[in-house]
Amino acid sequence: MAIPEDIRKKATKTWRNEVIRMIGDHPNLSYFEAAKDTDSIVSLCIKHPDTDNWMTKSELAPVFKAMTLDMSDKFPEEKELASKVMFTGQPVFISKE
């Protein structure tokens, strides 16, 4: 809290805009704009690599779990990246589509 609120808010908005820009760099990702009410949360959709359809909550559950694990043994060609453990928000049901 030693950082002034206006600087924290600006940093959060800058972070958010950069994350949204990065999502746009990948055709298998889509920024979910309908959930834009909180600057510190960026919602996105992920396309299934086999079907090219947006993944469902149940399809995303293993992705969520895998991101919390060191997966470098499964992806030796990307060992450094795959070894990083990341914590994200859990997948949520948005609509039947």
- Tokens representing 26? 């990948």
- Tokens representing 43? 């919602």
Do 44 and 68 fall within a single domain?
no
DSSP-based three-state secondary structure for 29: strand
- Tokens representing 93? 């049901």
What number of other Cβ atoms are within 10 A of residue 44's Cβ?
15
Do 44 and 66 fall within a single domain?
no
pLDDT at 35: 78
Helices (H) and strands (E) in the chain, counts: 3, 2
pLDDT at 58: 93
- Tokens representing 37? 């009410």
DSSP H or E run through 42: none
Do 63 and 40 fall within a single domain?
no
Q: Which domain holds residue 40?
A: 1-48
pTM (two decimals): 0.78
**How many domains does one find in the chain?**
2
pLDDT (tens digit per residue) in 35-94: 788 888 999 999 999 999 999 999 999 999 999 999 999 999 999 999 999 988 889 888
